[in-house]
């Protein structure tokens, strides 16, 4: 296909008419599809059904050391759960705190504790006039919502091919003591599916922050969530920071939300022993402990890392065709038109799509009016403000393959329609 | 038996020798018993084993409205879970927020939100120089730990026969704007097992706090936890406060921790619609939602309030003999000696025991050295400081009936021993 921008107004008008007719035909189908969030589909959830019943008696409620997991106790999780997560995250069990069903909750609480108590003896952040976090963009809207809720100013930092713009990160972190944190999804990032290179991890670990209580919030949400047989590799940042004499600079998070059940998984914090000890000290006033029975369910279901990896292969087998379908349709419908680009990740839950500038909102609106809900335009930026209004997060996991083909075909149509509308309005700066 | 204080020194010395010999015999048994916490015993936990497997398939993971409870979503819990808790707490479903496995966590988070954001538009508490909470004593150590952790000053208020000293509460709440809260366990209180009278509830609801953001933390932990057929009645404080034009003055908490599994129950916050809305607004940044599968397990296991009440009868059948055994032994060993008094509750998890002044620490020490761990002396007071060093919380639920008889017999012996030691040391002021 020829680049849209090279076409004449007459050609564009004809194309617009064709596209509008196609769009009308979609509307007539009265679709009701949702690609808004990174939710696993039903087929994925069914993979973990046996987990529901593998703890089914007084005997199977017992932990390795004989602890009756039905009763109170165990602030930081079962030792065997720590061991499994330590293997997954390539750390030691003493670096692990196993929690409840939500890693977002652990991240929020970690920031909230810093607000209330400070970090490792520093002044409570709530006593300071201004707290700032760096936010690589495009990024994860729920990270941004934590900051917004707690009144933390967000500073966007561009994502590059191998991670955030580390020159910008270094400058901001090392010059401004109000910069206390950065949100990262370092592997199969949300939404781009990019994995930070070793050089980027090294640049993080060698930061010399202006604030002694600067912390990296390393949301390793997709640590074993591969879509292709080609796996990305992420360098271990805990080790790297320890090697650079910053053992306490990182809080790492993960969960089984997209491994077993999003609503009933197990979340985990991994950090230096000092940080884990500090978190436990504050948490001992907050809770007696997490749901140990649900930890046991996971342990009995997976048995070990090998079992867990075999399980992730089944997810991959379900997800790979969905991602392929999206990429195929985008290429077929939009390839060569010169109006858009998108990522082709090896793992994670999303494809990041860049439309022509000032078109994302229009595309999302067109999709919605034809019955397909996408992630809102702007969601991948702090304060919901994409300065170029071009980025849209595509979440292909929830719909069935058939539904997804329909939804993405409509999406591609809406992209073309919005692009033609814009060209006809004679606005410059196509991507 | 005759009052110890009327005995001669010679009689007391003889008695001390006898008691010391009995104590030695206990030590020889090398006991290892724990009455420290209000933990249900194994027999109680076994009552809920069928709950483990009543959600066992994709079909049974569906909520009433078709929601797949395995997936993300539902910040405030399942509608049917709200309905059941509304019945238990005698409120409306819109007053209910159903959470995770820990009501302590909900209480802590409610106070932490007030610290970070204020209450209903008030200044964040962390911005104020001093925050004070009233603490009826004896009371629940984990409530006190929340305050201590968050730097909230605790002011003890005496528990009387029908609840806290409301004249003192009224004076403090109405005169000091730094008083922002009070902790209450209004039914079968911890540790005394007392239930607040209607007059006390009315006195709470008609308070005119100096602080607009004063809140009552109403921990209804034992709302349906009866030990005897004679049930205490607790007046509905949400209704009472609404009737006195203070609809937002109360946060009520409860959980199924002592109904199903302490580590894997379901916790609940009940409050005005305005308070629930405010909590949800902040929580939407903290979590996507609680474990809905565990809520479903509870719903399918109990079916309805009638099922739940029948279940509580089974707990009562296990607990009543334990409480009776404790009371019987205390009466037999200590009745008429004039050295101690204790409560005889109709429900809850504890018996509150008052030893002679300055004897509680010694009794706990003697018990521990003979292999019986009790709740630490002072635990029932803010900052672990019982000014009279006399109160000990007895938690009879965890040991078996046989173990319990042994533990309480030893306990009574230690009380006598400590009392005789004290009399011989010629200290006055026996209870």
Contact A116 B150 (CB under 8 A): yes
- Are B147 and B254 found together in one domain? yes
pLDDT digits (tens, 9 = 90+) for B354-412: 999 999 999 999 999 999 999 999 999 999 999 999 999 999 999 999 999 999 999 99
Closest listed residue to residue A415, CA positions, set A332, A347, A319, A346:
A332
Burial class (CB in 10 A: 0-12, 13-18, 19+), A76: buried
Contact B293 A42 (CB under 8 A): no
pLDDT exceeds 50 at position B430: no
Residue B50 domain-assigned (yes or no): no
Identify the residue whose tokens are 């409860």. Answer: B254
Q: Rounded CA gap, A111 and A106, in Å? A: 9
Domain boundary among B302, B322, B356: B302
- Fill in the DSSP letter of residue A377: T
CB-based burial, A383-397: b 16+ in 10 Å, e otherwise: eeebeebbbbbbbbb
**Cβ contacts of B71 within 8 Å, gap of 6 or more:** A39, A40, A45, A261, A262, A263
- Mark yes or no for CB contact B288/A70 under 8 Å: no
Helix (H) or strand (E) holding A175: helix A166-175
pLDDT of residue B429 exceeding 60, the answer is: no
CATH code, domain with A318: 3.90.1150.10
Where a domain ends, among B250, B275, B302? B302
Looking at the partner chain, which of B55, B115, B264 has a beta carbon nearest the beta carbon of A52? Answer: B55
Q: Which residues contact B287 (CB under 8 A, 6 or more apart)?
A: A102, A104, A105, A108, B75
User: Which among A279, A250, A410 has a CA at the least distance from the CA of A333?
Assistant: A410
Whichever domain contains A273, its CATH number is 3.40.640.10
**C-alpha distance from A297 to closest chain B C-alpha (Å):** 10
Total number of domains in chain A: 2
- State the pLDDT at residue B101: 97
Q: Residue B52 and residue A55: Cβ atoms within 8 Å?
A: yes
Among A221, A287, A398, most B C-beta atoms within 10 A, so best to mutate, is: A287
Tell whether B261 and B317 lie within a shared domain: no
Measured between CB atoms, which of B57, B69, B263 is closest to A289?
A: B263
Q: Are residues B109 and B22 in the same domain?
A: no
Q: Do B261 and A124 touch (CB under 8 A)?
A: no
- Below-70 pLDDT ranges, chain A: 1, 427-431
Cite the beta strand spans of A100-192 per DSSP E: 132-137, 153-160, 163-164, 179-184
* Pair A228, A337 in one domain: no
Nearest residue in chain A measured CA to CA from B128: A127
Contact residues, chain B, for A286 at CB < 8 Å: 104-105, 108-109, 112, 146, 149
- Could you tell me if B22 and B417 are in contact, meaning their C-beta atoms sit under 8 angstroms apart? no
Q: Under an 8 A CB cutoff, do B149 and A289 touch?
A: no
Query: Above 60 in pLDDT, residue B155?
Result: yes
Residue B414 scores a pLDDT above 90: yes
User: Any long-range contacts for B401-404 (C-beta under 8 Å, 24+ apart)?
Assistant: B401/B321, B401/B322, B401/B325, B403/B33, B404/B35, B404/B322, B404/B325, B404/B326
Of A185, A184, A156, A160, residue with least CA distance to A172: A156
Contact criterion met (CB < 8 Å) for A39 and B72 = yes
Query: Could A291 and B101 be called an inter-chain contact, meaning their C-beta atoms sit closer than 8 Å?
Result: yes
User: B296 and B314 share a domain?
Assistant: no
Separation in Å, CA of A8 to nearest CA in chain B: 48
Q: Do B55 and A58 touch (CB under 8 A)?
A: no
Q: Is residue B49 part of a domain?
A: no
Contact B287 A257 (CB under 8 A): no
pLDDT of residue A1: 66
* Residue B67 to residue A51: CA distance in whole angstroms: 19
CB contact under 8 A, A286 and B148: no
Query: What's the CA gap between B322 and A204, in Å, rounded?
Result: 59
- How many other C-beta atoms lie within 10 A of the C-beta of residue A30? 8
Residues 6+ apart with CB under 8 A from A429: A356, A357
Q: For residue A32, with 0-12 CB atoms within 10 Å meaning exposed, 13-18 middle and 19 or more buried, which class applies?
A: exposed
- Is the pLDDT confidence value at B35 over 60? yes
* pLDDT tens-digit map of A174-201: 999 999 999 999 999 999 999 999 999 9
Mean pLDDT over residues B122-149, rounded? 98
pLDDT at residue B431 greater than cutoff 80: no
Here the ipTM equals 0.96
Of B104, B126, B285, which is closest to A146 when you measure between CB atoms?
Answer: B285
| Predicted pLDDT of residue A429 | 45
* Angstrom distance (rounded) from CA A366 to CA B149: 51
CA distance A377 to A359: 9
Residue of A104, A257, A285 lying closest to B149 (CB–CB):
A285
| Single residue among B278, B302, B326 that ends a domain in this structure | B302
- Total-model pTM: 0.97
Report yes or no on A51 lying in a domain.
no
Of B39, B286, B294, the CB nearest to A108: B286
CA angle, residues A56, A60, A61, in degrees to nearest 5: 90
Asked if B56 and A52 come within 8 Å (Cβ–Cβ), the reply is yes
DSSP structural state of residue A219: E
Rounded to 5°, angle at Cα B427 from B424 and B430? 100
A contact test, residue of B57, B74, B108, B285 with most A CBs within 10 A? B285
d(CA B157, CA B134): 7
Q: Do residues B193 and B343 lie in contact, with contact meaning Cβ atoms separated by under 8 Å?
A: yes
Say yes or no: B195 and B69 in one domain: yes
pLDDT at A2: 80
> Are A142 and A237 members of one domain?
yes
| Angle formed by the axes of helices B305-334 and B79-89, nearest 10° | 40
The helices-and-strands tally (H runs, E runs) of chain B is 13, 13
CB contact under 8 A, B71 and A263: yes
Phi, psi (rounded to 5 degrees) for B227: -110, -30
Domain that holds residue A362: 4-44+309-424
Nearest CA-CA partner of B312 in B191, B404, B223: B223
Residue A431 has a pLDDT of: 38
Beta-ladder partners of A352: A393
Q: Is there a single domain that holds both residue B84 and residue B33? A: no
**What is the model's pLDDT at position B1?**
65
CB contact set of A387 (below 8 Å; sequence gap of 6+): A381
Q: How far apart are CA B213 and CA B136, in angstroms?
A: 20
- Does residue A55 belong to any structural domain of this protein? no
Nearest to A116 among B49, B68, B112 (CB): B112
- For residue B124, tell me if it sits in a domain: yes
- A23 — phi, psi (to 5°)? -60, -40
Residue in B70, B148, B257 nearest the CB of A264:
B70
**B187-207 average pLDDT score:** 98
Residue holding tokens 């017992």?
A62
Name the percent of chain B lying above pLDDT 90: 97
Do A39 and B148 lie within an 8 Å CB cutoff? no
Instruction: Say if CB B175 and CB B209 are below 8 A apart.
Output: no
B73 to chain A: which residues are within 8 Å by CB?
263
For CA atoms B139, B145, B148, B152, the dihedral sign is negative
Contact between A422 and A383 (Cβ < 8 Å):
no
Residue A373 placed within a domain: yes
Tokens representing B29 are 């048994």
- Alpha-carbon gap, residue B152 to B379, rounded angstroms: 17
Query: What is the per-residue pLDDT for A54?
Result: 96
Among A344, A428, A412, A354, residue whose Cα is nearest residue A26: A412
A401 class by beta-carbon count within 10 Å (0-12 exposed, 13-18 middle, 19+ buried): middle
Q: Are A93 and A79 in contact (CB under 8 A)?
A: yes
Beta-bridged to residue A394, according to DSSP, are A351
CB-CB under 8 Å, A46 with B71: no
- Asked if residue A57 is part of any domain, the answer here is no
* Cα B321 from Cα A290, distance rounded (Å): 31
Helical (H) or strand (E) element with B255: strand B250-255
Residue of B nearest to A296 (CA): B264
Contacts of B56 in chain A (CB under 8 A): 49, 52-53
Q: Are residues A258 and A144 in the same domain?
A: yes
Find, among B269, B257, B251, the residue nearest to B294 by Cα: B257
Whether the pLDDT of residue B351 is over 50: the answer is yes
Residues A282 and A137 in one domain: yes
Residues B374 and B395 in one domain: yes
For residue B388, give Cα distances in angstroms to B278, B380, B382.
Answer: 41, 12, 13
In terms of Cα–Cα distance, which of B236, B232, B238 is closest to B215?
A: B238
Is A361 domain-assigned? Answer: yes
Distance CA B81, CA B296 (A): 8
Same domain, A211 and A341: no
Nearest to A72 among B37, B126, B286 (CB): B37
**Residues near B201 by Cβ (< 8 Å), separated by ≥ 6?**
B163, B186, B234, B235, B236, B237, B240
**Are the beta carbons of A173 and A125 closer than 8 angstroms?**
no
Residue A187 and residue A234 in contact, taking contact as beta carbons nearer than 8 Å? yes
Q: Which two tokens stand for residue A231?
A: 């796996």
Q: Is the peptide bond between A334 and the residue preceding it cis, with omega within 30 degrees of 0?
A: no
Cα–Cα dist B97/B86, whole Å: 10
> CA of A129: which chain B residue's CA is closest?
B127
């Amino acid at each position: 296909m020829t680049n849209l921008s090279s076409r004449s107004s007459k050609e564009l008008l004809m194309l617009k008419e064709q596209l509008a007719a196609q769009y009308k035909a979609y509307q007539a189908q009265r679709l009701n599809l949702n690609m808004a969030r990174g939710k696993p589909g039903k087929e994925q959830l069914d993979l973990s059904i046996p987990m529901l019943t593998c703890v089914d008696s007084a005997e199977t409620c017992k932990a390795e050391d004989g602890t009756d997991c039905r009763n109170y106790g165990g602030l930081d999780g079962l030792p065997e759960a720590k061991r499994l997560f330590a293997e997954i995250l390539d750390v030691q069990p003493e670096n692990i705190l196993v929690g409840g069903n939500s890693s977002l909750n652990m991240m929020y609480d970690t920031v909230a504790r810093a607000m209330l108590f400070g970090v490792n003896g520093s002044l409570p952040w709530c006593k300071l006039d201004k707290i700032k976090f760096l936010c690589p963009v495009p990024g994860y809207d729920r990270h941004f919502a934590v900051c917004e809720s707690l009144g933390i100013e967000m500073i966007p930092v561009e994502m590059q091919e191998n991670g955030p713009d580390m020159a910008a990160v270094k400058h901001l972190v090392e010059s401004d003591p109000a910069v206390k944190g950065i949100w990262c999804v370092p592997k199969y990032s949300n939404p781009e599916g990019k994995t930070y290179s070793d050089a980027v991890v090294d640049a993080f670990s060698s930061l010399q922050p202006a604030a002694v209580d600067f912390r990296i919030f390393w949301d390793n949400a997709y640590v074993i969530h591969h879509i292709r047989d080609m796996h990305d590799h992420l360098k271990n940042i805990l080790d790297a920071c320890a090697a650079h004499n910053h053992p306490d600079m990182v809080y790492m998070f993960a969960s089984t939300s997209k491994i077993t059940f999003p609503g009933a998984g197990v979340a985990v914090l991994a950090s230096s022993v000092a940080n884990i000890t500090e978190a436990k000290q504050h948490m001992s006033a907050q809770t007696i402990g997490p749901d140990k029975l649900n930890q046991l369910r996971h342990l009995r279901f997976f048995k070990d890392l090998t079992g867990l990896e075999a399980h992730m292969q089944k997810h991959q087998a379900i997800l790979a065709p969905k991602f392929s379908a999206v990429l195929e349709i985008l290429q077929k419908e939009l390839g060569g038109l010169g109006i858009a680009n998108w990522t082709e990740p090896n793992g994670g839950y999303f494809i990041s799509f860049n439309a022509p500038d000032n078109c994302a909102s229009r595309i999302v609106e067109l999709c919605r009016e034809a019955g397909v809900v996408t992630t809102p335009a702007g969601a991948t930026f702090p304060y919901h403000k994409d300065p170029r209004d071009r980025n849209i997060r595509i979440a292909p996991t929830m719909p069935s393959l058939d539904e997804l083909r329909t939804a993405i075909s409509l999406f591609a149509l809406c992209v073309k329609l919005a692009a033609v509308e814009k060209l006809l309005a004679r606005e410059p700066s196509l991507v």
